[in-house]
Structure 1
Amino acid sequence: MRLDRAILDEEKRSWPDDSAVKRLKLEKLHVKEEIDRLTRSGTIN
């Protein structure tokens, strides 16, 4: 997943941008929640 790679890349920097990491993790959470919502509603087979 691209978000996982972006999070890892940012965390490995010598001076990681904490706000960028937090934003990426929140975006990942929103994607997971949307997948869960769609799965529960039967939209994804």
Structure 2
Amino acid sequence: MSGRTWYRRMRDWFKDNVPERLVFDGIAVLVVIAVLAIELPRLFG
């Protein structure tokens, strides 16, 4: 099995089993955590 086929199967499984809303919420949470990790030390430092 080639790498591209493996990737496509994983992507299709992910799309079928994980709600789109959950993916976007997860990305939003990660962005907020990243911004806080960068900004908090600067505010209190």
TM-score under structure 1 normalisation? 0.53
4+ long deviations beyond 4 Å: none
Larger radius of gyration: 2
Q: CA deviation at 1:12?
A: 2.6
Aligned positions, number: 32
| 1:32 aligned partner | 34
Listed as ranges, the gaps of 5+ residues in structure 1 are 1-10
Distance in 2 (alpha carbons) for counterparts of 1:28 and 1:34: 10
Q: How large is the RMSD of aligned CA atoms in angstroms?
A: 2.1
Distance in 2 (alpha carbons) for counterparts of 1:16 and 1:24: 11
- % identity of equivalent residues: 12
TM-score under structure 2 normalisation? 0.53
Structure ranking higher on relative contact order (CA contacts 8 Å, 6+ apart): 1
Listed as ranges, the gaps of 5+ residues in structure 2 are 1-12
The structure whose residues are more often helix, as a share, is 2
